[in-house]
Amino acid sequence: MTHLSSEITAQSAAKEQRASRRSIPDRLQSPLRRLFNSWECLLLGVAVAIFIANAFASPYFLNVWNLSDATYNFTEKAMIAFAMALLVIAGEIDLSVAAIIALASTAMGAAAQVGFGTPALVVIGLGVGLVCGAINGLLVAGLKLPSIVVTIGTMSLFRGLSYIVLGDKAYGHYPDSFGYFGQGYVVWAFSFEFVLFVLMACIFAVVLHATNFGRQIFVIGNNEFAARFSGIPVERVKFILFLLTGLMSGIAGICLTARLGSTRPSIAQGFELEAITMVVLGGVAITGGAGTIGGVVIAAFVMGLVTFGLGLLNVPGIVMSIFIGLLLIVTIALPILLQRLRHTFGS
């Protein structure tokens, strides 16, 4: 009898255990609690800490116009990072963005030398960006080639064309009105580039998080095979994303060229690394399927504050490059290491 009762007790305990595994909690985490547990909240805390540290490190940091100048450290790269984020969420990548900037700048410079005005230069910059994005999109979405291989190739191609045209020379003599895109202010200390950055952040946030197109991007990044069977036009979506990346590179090329007032074939060198770092630091999964535009925005401010603070302390540029490289490695490796530790201690 005792053996029978203990067996019945064991069976009922096993049933309860199986039921508890299938049960759904009565109350989910509140939105506020989910926000505080998010990567974006942690990153925002880091940004605030860096801001405070910079304020103590340099007496010039809190000057309004210095802070306005600090935005130039990240606005052009961040605008590329918005489009790059969508591409990475979809499981692809574009390493040719800096080379697209160089080619767009070269084309605008050549046009400026023969007397083209500001509207024509803007159209040329945007057009070159779109054409380069279309080339990448056709090779990846049309021919099913790996995006990392394709964009390494086009990176050399686009940059090489700039070197062929310019050699060791530089283009200058842009129209005075063209300089507004990189040096002008919309109101008070808010530059045109910063206002454009905010506008683009809002547009990309709506596209990714509030449209059917954005949901398709997440589905493709999570499971491309299932996306095809769900009727999502995977190739078309990817082609559009490469077009967007090319377009944003063209916009960044216009702003950067207008800010510098000249064009060299080495312009924007290293921008692709910093844009990808912003994307990964912002919480976008490098394997695709997850991420937010808000995280990329905060990551852009973090990188901008760090580089500006180091600049005020007269830290050499090569040290900043080393820091960015280490930051990229850490942000990719940290989630993987944390997941392994969780599995180790969880088991």
Classify burial at 334, counting beta carbons within 10 Å of its beta carbon; exposed 0-12, middle 13-18, buried 19 or more: exposed
Mean pLDDT of 138-154: 96
Q: Averaging pLDDT over each range in 5-19, 264-278, 307-321, which range is the top one? A: 264-278
Mind listing the pLDDT tens digit for each residue in 7-22? 444 445 444 444 443 3
Within a domain: 61: yes
Q: For residue 220, which phi and psi values (nearest 5 degrees)?
A: -60, -40
Give the pLDDT of residue 20.
Answer: 41
Domain that holds residue 245: 39-342
pLDDT of residue 318: 81
| Domain of residue 305, CATH code | 1.10.3470
- Taking residues 188-214, what's their average pLDDT? 97
Q: Is residue 167 in a domain?
A: yes
Distances from the Cα of 288 to the Cα of 14, 80, 96, 100, 237, angstroms: 38, 17, 19, 23, 14
Q: Are 270 and 112 in contact (CB under 8 A)?
A: no
Task: Identify residue 199 by its one-letter amino acid code.
Answer: L
Does residue 74 fall inside a structural domain?
yes
CB 204 within 8 A of CB 214: no
- C-alpha distance from residue 340 to each of 37, 336, 344 (Å): 19, 6, 6
Residue with more model confidence, 238 or 7: 238
Return the pLDDT at 1: 44
Calpha distance 13→19 (Å, rounded): 10
Q: How far apart, in whole angstroms, are the C-alpha atoms of residue 51 and residue 61?
A: 9
User: Is residue 20 assigned to a domain?
Assistant: no
pLDDT of residue 313: 85
Q: Identify the pLDDT of residue 3.
A: 46
Comparing CA positions, the residue from 129, 230, 55, 46 lying closest to residue 218 is: 230
Q: Residue 140 phi/psi, 5° resolution?
A: -85, -55
Residue 263 three-state SS: strand
Q: Which of 123-137, 165-179, 325-339 has the highest mean pLDDT?
A: 123-137
* Non-local CB neighbours of 65 within 8 Å, separated by 6+ positions: 189
What pLDDT shows up at residue 241?
98
| C-alpha–C-alpha distance, residues 80 and 97, integer Å | 8
In a domain, 212, yes or no: yes
Structural domain total, the chain = 1
Outline where the chain has alpha helix (H). 2-22, 31-36, 39-57, 64-70, 75-89, 97-113, 118-137, 147-166, 180-183, 192-210, 212-222, 224-229, 234-260, 271-281, 293-312, 317-346
Average pLDDT in the chain? 88
Q: Is the pLDDT of residue 345 over 90?
A: no
44 within 8 A of 50, measured Cβ to Cβ: no
Burial status of residue 347 (CB atoms within 10 A of its CB: 0-12, 13-18, 19 or more): exposed
Predicted TM-score (pTM) of the model is 0.88
190 strand-pairing partners: 187
Query: Do the domain assignments include residue 216?
Result: yes
Distance from C-alpha of 292 to C-alpha of 145, rounded to nearest angstrom: 27
Amino acid letter, residue 327: L
| CA gap 205, 83 in Å, rounded | 11
Residue 296 domain-assigned? yes
Q: Is residue 48 part of a domain?
A: yes
DSSP per-residue codes, 168-222: T--B----GGGGHHHH-EEETTEEHHHHHHHHHHHHHHHHHHHSHHHHHHHHHHH
Cβ distance 123 to 178 under 8 Å? no
